[in-house]
Each structure stands twice: as structure tokens, then as C-alpha cells.
């Protein structure tokens, strides 16, 4: 397992980049605009992690800007922790066998979400390419929120 990023939702990209980059000193490593999903993802690394960030080997802060205005209450601006795993199905099975609810099953062979006992969302991402779709995961519904 490898720690990937922490996601934080932001209301104003310019104001947020001013804080995280100009004031805190983080550096933008990549940006993704998704018109279909109506959001922008901006990944930031600490200066000492820049070389590793270019090789996808550094922990990052992911700023998520949703194009449609939304007020974030109750901590919704904090998104999730993300970990890369060697086998998404084996990881989810292990968690499930140990009483962890799989809130968003890995139907796509790539991504799943669980929650900590304190309600923190944790994203699990398959290392490398997505695994082929497999049961019981492919037809499993979401449970609760993630």
C-alpha cells in the first residue's frame, strides 16, 4: 500500500492557489479539467517532493474545484485519503472479512471507498491498470455515503 493524496474541495481556485502555492510554497504538478463531471483537479506537491511527484511517487494535495457552486458544511470540504493497493479485490475482501463496509465497491476494478470509524472517507486505487471486472464486486451496490 502507498499513500497517494489528500483531497480538499475549494470554492475559489485563485484564492486557494494563492494560499497553497504563493504562501505555503507548494508547487502545482498537474491539472485535470473534466467537463462531463464539471470539476477541476489540481495536484500540489511540497518543493522537496517535486522530483518524486513527477514519477507519481510523492504524497500530494488534490484541490477539487466543482464548477457548480456548493456550500461545504460539516467537513465536506475535506474529501478523502487515497491509497494505492496491489490488488483492489483482495484488499476489499480483507476489509470486508474484518467488518469494514465497502461503501463504494470496486465495480470498475480500479476504485473503492471505505470509511474510518470516525467517518473519514478512504479511497483505494488499484496500482497500475484496472483489474478486469469481477463478481461479487461488479454488481454490488453502494452502501451509505463515501
Active site residues: 123
Q: Which helix (H) or strand (E) holds 85?
A: strand 78-85
How far, in Å, CA of 27 to CA of 65, rounded?
A: 17
What is the number of other CB atoms lying within 10 angstroms of the CB of residue 46?
Answer: 16
Record the cell numbers describing residue 62, joined without a space: 488534490
**β-pair type (111-115, 39-45):** unpaired
The phi and psi torsions of 22 (rounded to 5 degrees) equal -70, -35
Residue whose C-alpha cell reads 477541476 in the numeric block: 40
H or E stretch at 34:
strand 27-34
Amino acid at each position: 500500500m502507498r499513500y497517494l493524496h489528500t483531497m480538499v474541495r475549494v470554492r475559489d481556485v485563485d484564492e486557494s492557489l494563492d494560499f497553497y502555492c504563493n504562501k505555503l510554497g507548494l508547487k502545482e504538478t498537474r491539472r485535470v479539467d473534466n467537463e462531463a463531471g464539471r470539476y477541476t483537479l489540481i495536484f500540489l506537491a511540497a518543493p522537496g517532493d517535486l522530483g518524486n511527484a513527477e514519477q507519481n511517487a510523492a504524497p500530494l494535495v488534490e484541490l477539487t474545484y466543482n464548477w457548480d457552486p456548493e456550500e461545504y458544511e460539516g467537513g465536506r470540504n475535506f474529501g478523502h485519503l487515497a491509497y494505492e493497493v496491489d490488488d483492489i479485490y483482495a484488499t476489499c475482501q480483507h476489509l470486508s472479512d474484518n467488518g469494514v463496509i465497502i461503501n463504494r465497491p470496486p465495480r470498475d476494478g480500479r476504485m473503492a471507498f471505505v470509511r474510518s470509524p470516525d467517518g473519514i472517507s478512504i479511497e483505494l486505487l488499484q496500482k497500475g491498470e484496472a483489474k478486469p471486472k469481477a463478481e461479487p464486486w461488479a454488481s454490488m451496490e453502494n452502501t451509505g455515503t463515501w
